[in-house]
Structure 1
Amino acid sequence: MSEIPDTYLKEIAMIRDDPHWGAAVIYNPNTCKEIGEACGFFRLHAFAHNHLNHTLLAKPSSYPVSLETRADCWAAKYGKSNEVYAAAQLLLDKDRNPAWIIHGDAQQRAKNIRICAIENENWLEIN
């Protein structure tokens, strides 16, 4: 699977069909620079849609909550614990940049990510 930077992408990251790789994770490197370690989680979340055999949709906002939750949980299980924690904190941050497109209920997503990470012994509380 390939990762392709796209500075014009409005999303943090998404997955698309790719003629060479089957699927590719597209991410915005500028947004990733702004959100730091959380970017790794969101790129892995995009990859999870392909790994879990979800139909790849052109608009990330089109994924139903159930598939988003499964992708979040998969990324929380297999992601780097510091990136998982950073993503949960970003979702909980009410003052985050509104340009960072977050789909679904951010508070609920953060809660689900934390639960999945704890259940899979991948939660690292950073103080």
Structure 2
Amino acid sequence: MQGNNCILDANAVLRFLLQDNEEQFRQIKEIIRGKNCYVTLEVLAEVCYVLEGVYQVTREDIACNFRKLVNDVSILNVDILLRGLEIFDRTPKLDFVDCLLYGYKWEKGIDIVTFDKKLQRRLGEVFL
């Protein structure tokens, strides 16, 4: 069974979401259909960074694409992702990783420790 599992890196996820390289999109689509594919939150953080910074994709579109991706692959810690996306959608001052931290806080009961005063204030707003 181990050979039927794979983990996708950021480039594979980007090609699948953007469909900007026909051959690579076809290949990754076949892999996703034929294997149990997993994506980590770390990979999604990198994908988000590239989509925002390089491709100027809106936060709304990123969140929408990540929610759709859940139907095609297994997201490790999907509960944290979905909770983080709730904040990502409505809190433009928080970056994706900060929103994932919120997801860990909400879903796993793990406190966030930070020296970032702005983040503390923003998280305070989120938790009210």
Normalised by the length of structure 2, the TM-score is 0.31
Structure number with higher strand proportion: 1
Higher relative contact order (CA 8 A, sep 6+): 1
Between structure 1 and structure 2, the one with the greater Rg is: 2
Structure number with higher helix proportion: 2
